[in-house]
Amino acid sequence: MDGRILRGIRRTAPEIDIRTAADAGVAGLQDPEVLRISADSGRILVSQDRHTMPGHFSRFSARTQTPGVILLREAISISTAIEEIVLIWSASEAAEWIGRLVWIPL
């Protein structure tokens, strides 16, 4: 995820437990492994990997329960990404995201 988005989320809503790929130890890993680690840790994945993640998510979620994925569209502005991620976090429960892939902006 773009570092500016991460910093904006941390500044806007410091109570959100959000980590970078490097912090989570998944930087450089293949999508299926990132999805497995996300599922094992019960964390919703926020990704800018628009090209391969949707297909990998579809195959992975067909056989494994996953906390869900939020994909950021290419043209999303930094401020919109921050606002929508904070809104999702504040207006929904983690259980609502199980097995879902959602693109933002909606």
Q: What is the pLDDT of residues 73-93, one digit of tens each?
A: 999 999 999 999 999 999 999
pLDDT at 22 over 90: no
Tell me the one-letter amino acid at 35. L
Q: What is the pLDDT of residues 31-59, one digit of tens each?
A: 999 999 999 999 999 999 999 999 999 99
pTM for this structure? 0.91
Q: What is the pLDDT at residue 33? A: 97
The residue ranges of DSSP E strands in 16-106, in sequence order, are: 45-47, 69-72, 101-104
Q: What is the pLDDT of residues 23-36, one digit of tens each?
A: 888 999 999 999 99
User: What are the sequence ranges of the domains in the chain?
Assistant: 3-104
